[in-house]
């Protein structure tokens, strides 16, 4: 029997890409899944597919996690509907790649509202439940950009640095309550993310050979569920670059500057 059999997993940003793949693989392991996203029509399609394919419960909620009142309302409803929540995957997020002087203020605000404040709002709604039960798992989808910033992604990188800071602090706090906290730091993933981040398609074309498959990343996330995994870093060679950057930032910035500008 799978260790996820009978568990309940909430996934934000579940209407496409990585979130959708995490939902599929969790359901395949016998977990009940609670899928959150703005696109209710897409969530309905995914629910129909999952309930047809797997014998498990699927709950869907339309939500804009940048709106705290919506987060509070939806999570209150979830906690009334399901007996317990075992895993929260904070996957919702987006980026826009621009040089710092070109970044539009509304996009800056929106990235912080979704990537940081929305993640914190969802987490805060579930923490009392997990603390009371003295079990649970928070998985925050961050990014290699949160470890090593590059040109043309200053704001996006700043949001992911914030996610890692929050995650690392939360992990130490929640250890007292038996709740696991994991950061997932993927490199570029072949999803709809780049439709918004890079409408020109140039970055996606330049890094196509290194693009991660969402199925692979989802598999690593699902493997980490209900374990004490501190971080999931993909691909390993890119994470090695992040480690080198921590140790030798000036050297990496000088040698890698030309490659970094390829987005």
8-12 β-sheet, strand order: 58-62, 32-37, 8-12, 87-90, 136-141, 179-186, 231-234
What are the catalytic residues?
156
Question: From the CB of residue 210, how many other CB atoms can be counted at a distance below 10 Å?
Answer: 11
Helix (H, G, I), strand (E, B) or coil at 229: coil
Cα gap 253→258, rounded to integer Å: 9
Q: Which helix (H) or strand (E) holds 152?
A: none
Q: Per residue of the chain (263 residues), give pLDDT as tens.
A: 688 999 999 999 999 999 999 999 999 999 999 999 999 999 999 999 999 999 899 999 999 999 999 999 999 999 999 999 999 999 999 999 889 999 999 999 999 999 999 999 999 999 999 999 999 999 999 999 999 988 889 999 999 999 999 999 999 999 999 999 999 999 988 877 767 766 766 666 666 677 899 999 999 999 999 999 999 999 888 888 788 888 877 888 777 766 666 66
C-alpha 175, offset from chain centre: 21
Task: Give the chain's domains with CATH numbers.
Answer: 8-260 (3.40.50.720)
Residues 16/41, Cβ–Cβ less than 8 Å:
no
Structural element, H or E, at residue 231: strand 231-234
């Amino acid at each position: 029997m799978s260790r996820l059999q009978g568990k309940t997993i909430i996934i934000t940003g579940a209407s496409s890409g990585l979130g959708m793949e995490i939902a599929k693989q969790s359901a395949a392991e016998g977990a009940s899944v609670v899928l959150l996203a703005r696109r209710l029509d897409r969530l309905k399609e995914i629910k129909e597919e999952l309930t047809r394919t797997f014998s498990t419960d699927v709950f869907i909620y339309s939500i804009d996690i940048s709106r705290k009142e919506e987060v509070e309302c939806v999570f209150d409803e979830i906690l009334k509907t399901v007996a317990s929540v075992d895993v929260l995957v904070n996957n919702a997020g987006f980026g826009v790649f621009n040089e710092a002087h070109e970044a539009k203020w509304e996009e800056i605000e929106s990235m912080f509202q979704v990537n940081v404040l929305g993640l914190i709002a969802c987490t805060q709604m579930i923490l009392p439940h997990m603390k009371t039960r003295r079990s649970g798992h928070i998985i925050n989808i961050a990014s290699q950009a949160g470890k090593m910033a590059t040109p043309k992604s200053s704001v996006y990188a700043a949001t992911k640095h914030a996610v890692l800071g929050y995650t690392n602090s939360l992990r130490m706090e929640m250890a007292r309550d038996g709740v696991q906290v994991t950061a997932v730091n993927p490199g570029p993933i072949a999803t709809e993310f780049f439709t918004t981040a890079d409408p020109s398609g140039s970055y996606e074309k330049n890094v196509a050979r290194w693009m991660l498959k969402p199925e692979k990343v989802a598999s690593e996330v699902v493997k980490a569920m209900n374990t004490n995994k501190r971080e999931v870093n993909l691909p390993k060679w890119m994470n090695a670059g992040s480690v080198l950057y921590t140790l030798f930032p000036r050297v990496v910035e000088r040698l890698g500057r030309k490659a970094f500008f390829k987005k």
